[in-house]
Structure 1
Amino acid sequence: MSDGEVKGSFYRTEIIAQLFGVTVRRVQQLTQEGIISTTKILEDGKSVRRYDLVPTIQAYVKYLSDKAYGKQHRTDKEIELREQKMQADIALKESQGELHRLKTEIAAGQYISVEEVKLDYAKFFVVFKKFAMSVPARVTGMLSGQMEPSELRRCEKEIAAEVNRLLGAFVIAGIVGPEDVKKDGTLKEEKNTDS
């Protein structure tokens, strides 16, 4: 009995690699791909995997024959990979269709550029700020005959301060997000995680 042979016709990976004229790694790949298979046997009291010679040779010859005649054996892994490729192709085609639709809508003028939106927002907020800053003077103008001038100036200053605080909170909320601003419009203290 040679040292590669084990009880009957069960052989180690190295012997199968020699018989097939391939590397040990290629034999392992063929096993992983399901082209050839191992059998669990007991050797010196240990459970090991070995190749049954006749079925292994028959499976490998069938694999080579199918490969030569274009009927390449499709393993579960290969089928799964082909399925994934088809899914990726479908997703690609859908995204290309969506991109084409968006380009068509942009060309038709259904969308505007980010720069235009930013410019429009900037103009709007300038007008809004002017309007908001004019509110204290308008309110005190309405109340001018009903209050003392010093009291009117105090009210105008308080209203102007409140409008400024609200505008500041509005700007801060637009930059940092509402979750970072206290109810009174000031920024929450950042927790120091360095300590």
Structure 2
Amino acid sequence: MEVKTEYRTSAQVARVFRMTSKNVQRLTADGVLETVETPRGRRYDWDKTVEMYVAYLSDKANGREKKETTAELEEAKLRAEVDIKEAKAKAAQMELKELQGKMHRAEDVEAIMTDHVLFLRSMLMAMPGKLAVDLSGNHTAPEQADRVKREVYFVLNALADYRYDPEVYKARVRERQGWNERHGDDEADD
């Protein structure tokens, strides 16, 4: 007695399995289900499809389902390698810009600005003592006010005279990288 093979479309399989046709197609693409070529196009061998789907559900229930196909794992690996190479290239570009003085690390800017602010703070803190000596004589109030004003302007001019110096940042990078100790201070030889 010959058993007649029954073929079903993805819509028919989806209806019986209570899912969408897209889910049936996804299961087929993932290798869970298989189609065969028939005179009416690609179809599912009903007995084999039910058997494969039951095995898939059993494996899934027992935690043995195939997590990812080999192709998906290989693709993920290649994507990760590309990401790593792109990150390394970006880091190298940033380091080059830093060495060229076109970009500065926040920590370097903070350190240099902190040094500048501390310099100004020391000038302001020295002002009372300096003025006390200068104004200890018999000066009139307008003379004293003028002297205080000149000292304040001196400090403000020192602040206004600050100029960006790329060499200061380059020296900071060399110091942070430890290049002065490892390679000798090239600038000292010039």
Structure with more relative contact order (C-alpha pairs < 8 Å, separation 6 or more): 2
Question: TM-score scaled by structure 1?
Answer: 0.41
Question: TM-score scaled by structure 2?
Answer: 0.42
Higher helix residue share: 2
